[in-house]
């Protein structure tokens, strides 16, 4: 069965600084990988996804993530943080050919300091 | 386009009471699911449905029932509420059951059991 770990339950960055949110997964078959963002009192919104093809994936709001098979990682980055990026971020994995079986990580809360 | 709509947004119950959390989607999505979100645990799958008339259990199904009589609606029933069911509940839908398809989430129902 697949699993997801997110290093750091809370990350703080200054406005304009690099954002790096870590995600590592385990999967017995090639995975599909997703990042979702959750703003307060809202549901999760898809930021980006990796299914096939290019391992560097660009998403909304200037975020991107790179799938590294050798490191079983799918870290989320943004070159310059904005105050509006403050939210909780979830990494999720699903296994190919096994139907919808998302497993979500525990989440990382991002704070952006002025 | 409303997407995924959940009602109510907030609810307080007493132990032993029953209630139904409503979920409706207007995107003609085949796949629907219910998650609960607890601090530090990410989202855990309760039940899911791959189409009208078809439901199955997820990771944490005990104490919950679902049905899917139409494509649009997927209600979640708490049979006899317990304090351990205090959580935020999210309904999600996806165009299909294939694991490369992202899920679209409602805004959640915040449920407290006293």
| pLDDT at residue number A100 | 64
Paired tokens of B106: 């409602």
Maximum C-alpha span of chain A? 45
Per-residue model confidence (pLDDT) at position A27: 83
Cis peptide before B8, with omega less than 30 degrees from 0? yes
Sites in chain A below the pLDDT cut of 50? none
Q: Rounded to an integer, what distance in angstroms lies between the CA atom of residue A92 and that of residue A70?
A: 18
Tell me the longest C-alpha to C-alpha distance in chain B: 40
Angstroms from B41 CA to nearest CA on chain A: 5
Number of neighbours of residue B54 by Cβ within 10 angstroms: 12
pLDDT interval class at B76 (50, 70, 90)? very high
Read off the pLDDT band of B7 (50, 70, 90): very high
Summarize pLDDT for B48-65 with one digit per residue, the tens: 999 999 999 998 999 999
* Interface test mutation site (partner A, options B48, B92, B99, max chain A beta carbons within 10 A): B99
Q: How far is B88 from chain A (nearest CA, A)?
A: 10
Given the structure tokens 């607890």, which residue do they identify?
A: B38
Strand, helix or coil for residue A27: coil
Cβ–Cβ of A99/B4 closer than 8 Å?
A: no
The arithmetic mean of pLDDT across residues B59-77, rounded, is 96
Of the candidates A77, A93, A71, which has an alpha carbon nearest to the alpha carbon of residue A3? A93
Return the pLDDT at A53: 84
Q: Which of A43, A98, A105 is the best substitution to test chain B (most B C-beta atoms within 10 A)?
A: A43
Which residue in this structure is represented by tokens 């139409």? B70
d(CA A94, CA A27): 8
């Amino acid at each position: 069965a697949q699993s997801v770990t997110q290093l750091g339950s809370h990350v703080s960055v200054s406005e304009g600084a690099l954002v790096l949110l870590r995600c590592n997964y385990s999967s017995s078959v090639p995975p599909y990988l997703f990042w979702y963002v959750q703003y307060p009192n809202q549901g999760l919104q898809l930021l980006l996804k990796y299914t096939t093809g290019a391992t560097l994936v660009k998403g909304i709001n200037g975020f991107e993530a790179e799938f590294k098979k050798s490191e079983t990682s799918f870290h989320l980055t943004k070159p310059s943080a904005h105050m509006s990026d403050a939210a909780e971020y979830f990494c999720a994995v699903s296994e190919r050919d096994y139907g919808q079986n998302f497993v979500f990580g525990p989440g990382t809360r991002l704070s952006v300091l002025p | 386009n409303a997407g995924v709509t959940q009602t109510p947004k907030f609810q307080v119950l007493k132990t032993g009471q029953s209630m139904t959390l409503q979920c409706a989607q207007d995107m003609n999505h085949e796949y629907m699911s219910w998650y609960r979100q607890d601090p530090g645990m990410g989202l855990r799958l309760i039940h899911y449905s791959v189409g009208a008339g078809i439901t199955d259990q997820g990771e944490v199904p005990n104490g919950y029932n679902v049905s899917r009589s139409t494509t649009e609606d997927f209600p979640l029933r708490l049979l006899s509420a317990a304090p351990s069911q205090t959580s935020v509940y999210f309904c999600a839908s996806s165009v299909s059951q294939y694991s490369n398809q992202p899920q679209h989430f409602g805004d959640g129902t915040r449920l407290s059991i006293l």
